[in-house]
Amino acid sequence: MRCIGCGVHIQTEDETKLGYAPPSALGKEEIICQRCFRLKHYNEIQDVSLTDDDFLKILHGIGQSQALVVKLVDIFDFNGSWLPGLHRFVGNNPILLVGNKVDLLPKSVKYPKLIQWMKQSAKELGLKPVDICLISAVKGIGMQRVMEAIEQYRDGKNVYVVGCTNVGKSTFINRIIREVTGEGDVITTSYFPGTTLDMIEIPLDDGAAIYDTPGIINHHQMAHFVDKKDLKTITPKREIHPKVYQLNEQQTLFFGGLARLDYVKGGRRSFVCHFSNDLLIHRTKREHADELYEKQLGELLQPPKKSYADTFPPLVAHSFTIKESKTDIVFSGLGWVTCNEPGTQVVAYVPKGVNVLLRKSLI
Ligand code: GDP
């Protein structure tokens, strides 16, 4: 028995696996799997994630065809959601860089400046996109513009949307489905050569299609170190309100119990913190910081919550001297602290496995 939508073998045992259909559906003349059912009736897709190997195969496949690649990044977690090496795999195909979740940035951020910043950052990471768009898939900001850009750069060819998990790819694709097809149109899933994965195919007027590729897991994201509830706390839901701390040398800021910043040397300075509004920031003297962390992890300093505190990986120190004015100290997947003056010495702490880096200030 096969699904009339995607051709997958129908099974009725495991709801989380491909090809599931409820037993009641078996009596019908034409059987459709749950995934296609949702697509057909609700125009809604769910994300699937996959291993690095399969992902590389997909990228390789894209490189061998002629297509426009739409690369989605989370603007709040730019580096953490970046897919490294994409340009090496997609051949000569143009890449349209799309920054999602602009709704989280403070209103004071100017889009042209942000686009310039993205261009520069992409260049430093080895990517030269044909164009850059800013959107909020959730709020629907910038969708018109990005659809126009896709139409312009695809030049009659297929489109592949790539991005790591959690950048908002499903939300983005669901919006496109609504804009492109409207209700009632049948959306097929398509089997990608070389992998065991099918992709969502959104047919376009001229016979080409937009393909949603599965998301790749970025192992350095803070999201992997916290449970679902804590993830809610650290993921901003609304526009973030920067918090300014005037610090003296030898003072420490804790970001919940997930990260820490020691201000070592440089006179009295201000540090502008950009994190989820729900994440508690705690200031203390540097000499007390170790002890406080030991005693208060999971209590005063949370997330992680108490039950996770014992198994939470130890924080690892990374020392930096700020070289340029207006530099962000980025805690991957959590947020960043902007430091305005060069010469400032800091030590940033993150759980082992999470990235911390410096970049030219985004704001
Ligand atoms: P995927 O894993 O890339 O498919 O990402 P999802 O579409 O499932 O989104 C991941 C999370 O980001 C969800 O909590 C979404 O609500 C959220 N999200 C997606 N797009 C936006 C956006 O434009 N703004 C904000 N603030 N959150 C978004």
- Asked if 322 and 293 touch (Cβ cutoff 8 Å), the reply is no
Does residue 56 sit within a domain?
no
- How many domains does one find in the chain? 2
Structure tokens at 152: 């312009």
Residue 20 reports pLDDT greater than 80: yes
Q: Which helix (H) or strand (E) holds 263?
A: strand 259-265
Same-domain check for residues 201 and 257: no
- Examine the fold and report which residue of 164, 188, 216 is the final residue of a domain before the chain moves on: 216
Are 246 and 317 in a shared domain?
yes
Residues 74 and 202 in one domain: yes
Q: Is residue 3 part of a domain?
A: no
Rounded CA-CA distance 333/355 in Å is 9
Residue 220 is predicted with a pLDDT of 67
Nearest to 229 by CA among 315, 304, 306: 304
Residue 187 in this model has a pLDDT that exceeds 60: no
Query: Residue 10: is its pLDDT beyond 90?
Result: no
Q: Is the residue at 5 inside a domain?
A: no
Same domain, 211 and 258: no
Question: Between residues 327 and 186, which one has the greater pLDDT?
Answer: 327
State the average pLDDT for the chain: 86
Give yes or no for residue 43 having a pLDDT over 90: no
Give 250 Cα–ligand 1 centroid separation in angstroms.
38
Work out the pLDDT band at 342, boundaries 50, 70, 90. very high
301 with 340, same domain: the answer is yes
**Which amino acid is located at 234 in the chain?**
I
In a domain, 238, yes or no: yes
What CA–CA distance (Å, rounded) separates 216 from 19? 22
- The stretches of 165-264 forming alpha helices (DSSP H) are 169-180, 228-234
Q: How far is Cα 34 from Cα 29, in angstroms, rounded to an integer?
A: 15
Question: Is residue 182 domain-resident?
Answer: no
Q: Are residues 105 and 167 in the same domain?
A: yes
pLDDT at 265 over 50: yes
The verdict on 240 and 163 lying in the same domain is no
Q: How large is the average pLDDT for residues 244-261?
A: 97
Enclosing domain of residue 91: 62-174+196-216
Atom of ligand 1 nearest to the CA of 100: 23
Domain boundary among 186, 216, 246: 216
Does residue 149 form part of some domain? yes
Output phi, psi for 95, to 5 deg: -120, 125
The closest residue, in CA terms, to atom 22 on ligand 1 is 101
Predicted confidence band of residue 51 (pLDDT cuts 50, 70, 90): low
Dist. CA 363–CA 342, nearest whole Å: 17
Asked if residue 203 and residue 242 are part of one domain, the reply reads no
Q: How confident is the model at residue 230 (pLDDT cuts 50, 70, 90)?
A: confident
Structure confidence at residue 130 as a pLDDT band (50, 70, 90): very high
Pocket test for ligand 1, best of 83, 138, 173 (most atoms within 8 A of CB): 138
| Cα Dmax for the chain | 76
The residue whose two tokens read 């030590």 is 347
pLDDT surpassing 80 at residue 193: no
The β-bridge partners of 72 are 98
